[in-house]
Chains A and B, each alone.
Chain A
């Protein structure tokens, strides 16, 4: 072999055949990804397929006072209203608290201070508390302690019993980390230049936060709120003891009433139906209603969040 040949050989970039390891690795991980998506698709498709027939305007707006186990009469309006109410009250409580906490963590706190670390630790921990423990907490704290305290030993308890307000408060404690984390993320995505520009013009910190920072963070705050609503909308365990009712003839009149709930109704229909075969269509349609609610909210949140992240990458 001549020297030129050797050199030509060294500079030969043609592929040296099939790279099996690369193929296997990409294949396995890619298949895992595909498998997860397939399961998600199967779940959704299955529910839509079986639920579509019963799912109708009449079903969504029908009341449950005739017979909630009869396919032709049952409606889910009371459950939709109950779920909407408890989520609405929750949002009113959790969004301000969550946003203010996030503002503290990003705008005021010294990142290394002990308080900051403890707050962060608490937020992360709150996110990991099992939902059933929130239910116990709601019962032990809101109903037994605060509610009974408010009643002060009255014979007919007004506050010291399961109610929308207690379920909502319990859920707002549960979703607090979601709002904090989402808001914080969008606060951090704002270029420091904007804050500097405002401060250099002689704005105070508070003015800068209210006029420049929060309007910019609005998409993130929305994401947090939507995620919280989506998460809380489908949660059942925390409301089992704090407000959900198996059956109520009337719609709730005040925040101290109990309520019927979509998610809880799914649980009842799945496990306590008098005739599972006959109520199956109602069940699937109810699940469809619940899934439409939570997934569409999540979808919106995911889209908004992706935009925020994109902008963050662009600005850094």
Chain B
């Protein structure tokens, strides 16, 4: 009888299913790899294996034979494989270079500091060659490599704050209008039109901020430096609007029509139904929209790189030039020595950025999940 053919009769089907499953794991693998490989480049720094001191203790080249191989390797800052490839003469030469360097190294007290230690990354320090008010300094190039991250973090937060203050009210109001008040025909036009804004590349937004918006805003508000956190924040807001709008609009639309109709049948006006019934029901989704908008803003690079003025000044004023974490990576990585401390610091802040956006997304995701459950009546 024909139907007596077992499942093993379809190996292709079985193979295809396994293959499809394996491919679908790509997304997980990628998230994992991103973290691993960004963190990997920063790892030596985190483990305290990097030393950025301009003046390091010197061992005379002729003393080389007295050192154990392991001590010599650490002294020269070589990896095990590099060390193996070098013969004695090459090592000797490296030691001489080191001696030479030491002669030219700056003599002040800061020159012996390893500036990649945590306390120099986050805590204030009075550098011998900076003004007393500059206790948080990001200045990777120079006699002493100053890697204080606080000005960059503040720069990122400043531009992000401006971006959110500008974009969230606009995007939410537009989402309310499009989802609740506009006629269906209007909605069909408005939604794609606003989403078209997400099709404007961020380099174009940056360009627009730099060439047009900056002068316009300076004229309107009359502040000192043309490029600053305010300009960058507004331009960044343009990148955030479509994100917040899309998610909030989806959340508002997903509230069952029955709610609105019930309110309207009780004599509420359209806006009362939208404001008093739909908005509270969709509140978690709206919140998620803001959270994800934050993630977009803090991770955006080109807009900030081009419109913020790029000065790593420790300042809370919105009208000072500023520099964000993302812009710092973009601007400096190309010039950083491969595998050097500057390079690794840039990967470190990249990894920090990844962790922040990862958590932000996770939070946004969980909130949306809850909302969905609540609207479908599943969650408690």
Contacts and interface: CB of A to CB of B under 8 A. Distances in A.
Interface of B is mostly: helix
**Range, interface on chain A:** 35 or more
B12 A297 contact: no
B192 interface: yes
Interface of B: 10, 12-13, 16-17, 19-21, 23-28, 30-31, 33-34, 37-38, 40-41, 169-171, 173-174, 176-178, 181-182, 188, 190, 192-208, 210-212, 238, 241, 245, 269-272, 274-275, 292, 295-296, 298-302, 305-306, 326, 329-330, 333-334, 346-347, 350, 353-354, 357-358, 360-362, 364-365
A43 B216 CA distance: 13
A36 B194 contact: yes
A139 to B, nearest CB: 8
A296 to B, nearest CB: 9
Residues of A contacting B: mostly: helix
Contact of A204 (B13, B30, B199, B269): B13
A294 B201 CA distance: 7
Nearest to B360: A128
Nearest to B307: A270
A121 B31 CA distance: 10
A201 interface: no
A56 interface: no
Contacts of A290: 201, 203-204
B314 to A, nearest CB: 22
A134 B188 CA distance: 34
Interface stretch (A67-75, A190-198, A213-221, A228-236): A228-236
A52 interface: no
B38 A40 contact: no
13 contacts: A21-B269, A29-B174, A32-B170, A40-B193, A237-B302, A240-B334, A266-B204, A270-B206, A270-B210, A271-B306, A290-B203, A295-B200, A303-B192
Interface centre among A35, A233, A271 (most CB of B within 10 A): A271
A122 B299 contact: no
B201 A236 contact: yes
Nearest to B32: A122
A150 interface: no
Interface of A: 19, 21-22, 25-26, 28-33, 35-37, 39-40, 43, 46-47, 97, 100-101, 103-105, 108-109, 118-119, 121-137, 139-141, 144-145, 173, 176-177, 180, 204-206, 230-231, 233-237, 240-241, 263-264, 266-267, 270-271, 280, 283, 287, 290-291, 294-295, 297-299, 302-303, 305-306
Given A22-B271, A128-B295, A266 B193 contact: no
B33 A267 contact: no
B350 A36 contact: no
